[in-house]
Structure 1
Amino acid sequence: MTIPSAGRTPRSRLPREERTRQLLDVAWKLVGDGGTDVLTLGRLAEEAGVTKPVVYDHFGTRNGLLAALYQDFDARQTAIIDGAIAASRQTLKDKARVIASGYVDCVLTQGREIPGVLAALNGSPQLAALKKQYQQVFIEKCRDILAPFAGPKGIATASLWAMLGAADALSDAAVAGDIGVEDARDELLETILAMVRRSK
């Protein structure tokens, strides 16, 4: 399938940061159209209108590209949630709603691409470790956000992992159309609220 992206333009020298952004955008489009199976460095170079050495210089390997895609997704998710948390009211329900809506909406924005990238990440020990690292950062972020509303011992780590599992499952179900977006947000909100209440 031909990708109608900005990458199909005559080759030009871009600053490294801009070239990385272009390559990531084309890679997301490739994954969205054909899944992670079609994502190779050679295919990315072809679709982006650059030589293979350019792509290899930016990502090194296919695993490096997958890691960059996950980092790109995580950076957007973090920025959205951080901004919304800063703007929200200082109540448990408002903070929990921001976490729930932010998580679901970020996955929906990336559409069917991010589940495929996450599945590919699980196929490599190195990438699985990267995914776990980002998951732990998210869990600690949630712990800090919700700490003022928790009991004296704080929220159990097991509870936070359970919340993250629910967030992933609900977001994936919403992307697949198995449940509505609002249903996913509302259920995750209730899961977070219940988790905090159990900590008291």
Structure 2
Amino acid sequence: MAKPEVRKLPKPERRTQLLDTARDILRECGADALTLGHLAERAGVSKPIAYEHFGTREGLLIALSEEIEARHVGKLKAGLEKAPPTLPAIADVISSAYIGCALESGPEWLAMSGALRGNAQMDAVQQTLADDYVAIIAAALARFSTLPPDDLRLRCVGLAGAAETMARELIRGRIGENTASANLAALIMHGIAA
């Protein structure tokens, strides 16, 4: 049986298609099954196309991670722009955006982050993404805190770690979305006090 002819897509559309297919592979088969060869086969393209877009398996996983973070930060910023200027409202936006993104990303987020632990390139990318996220939430919370900026930033680093841990509990089915969001919001409100 002959393979169906692959429609030529513009590069940005092809990248989106490949990332969507990669998420499907992660969800259905786990991180070990996500190779550029498997991705190309599932997407109906040649291996060189997959390599052209991502270079390596790690490059693909980094691209997925960056995409998830960009979506999360976009939702966070949009929510912060619309939120009333009160600490409970800002804390709710921060917690809801994080928990909602984790829920949307699902188990493939856990598989992806596990697959990249110990990879120097991914560690650097994740540190940059974490630093950017911490800067956003520290800026949003600064007007409600009397902490010195360096202490507030450090507290926000801790809040980001707590958010990740709660998101993992949620994805594993150990807590519900409302419980995760409410408890994260409470940690945020109490965590920035002097």
TM-score class, shorter: over 0.9
Match of 1:56 in 2: 51
Match of 2:21 in 1: 26
Letter of the structure 2 residue corresponding to residue 86 of structure 1: E
1:98 aligned to which of 93, 97, 116: 93
**Residues 18-167 of structure 1 correspond to what in structure 2 (within 5 A)?**
18-151=13-146, 153-154=148-149, 155-167=151-163
Is the CA contact 1:41–1:56 (under 8 Å) kept in the aligned structure 2?
Answer: yes
- What is the aligned-residue RMSD (CA, Å)? 1.3
Is the CA contact 2:142–2:152 (under 8 Å) kept in the aligned structure 1?
Answer: no
Is the CA contact 1:96–1:193 (under 8 Å) kept in the aligned structure 2?
Answer: yes
The percent identity for this pair of structures is 34
How many aligned positions are there? 191
Q: Deviations over 1:100-121 (max 9, x none)?
A: 0100100100110111111222
Is the CA contact 1:111–1:175 (under 8 Å) kept in the aligned structure 2?
Answer: yes
Match of 1:172 in 2: 168
Q: Give the C-alpha shift of residue 12 in structure 1.
A: 1.1
Q: Distance in 2 between matches of 1:50 and 1:182?
A: 41
Unmatched 5+ residue regions in structure 2?
none
Q: Give the match's secondary structure for 2:79.
A: helix
1:187 aligned to which of 160, 183, 186: 183
Unmatched 5+ residue regions in structure 1?
1-7
Q: Give the C-alpha shift of residue 156 in structure 1.
A: 3.0
Regions of 4+ moved over 6 Å: none
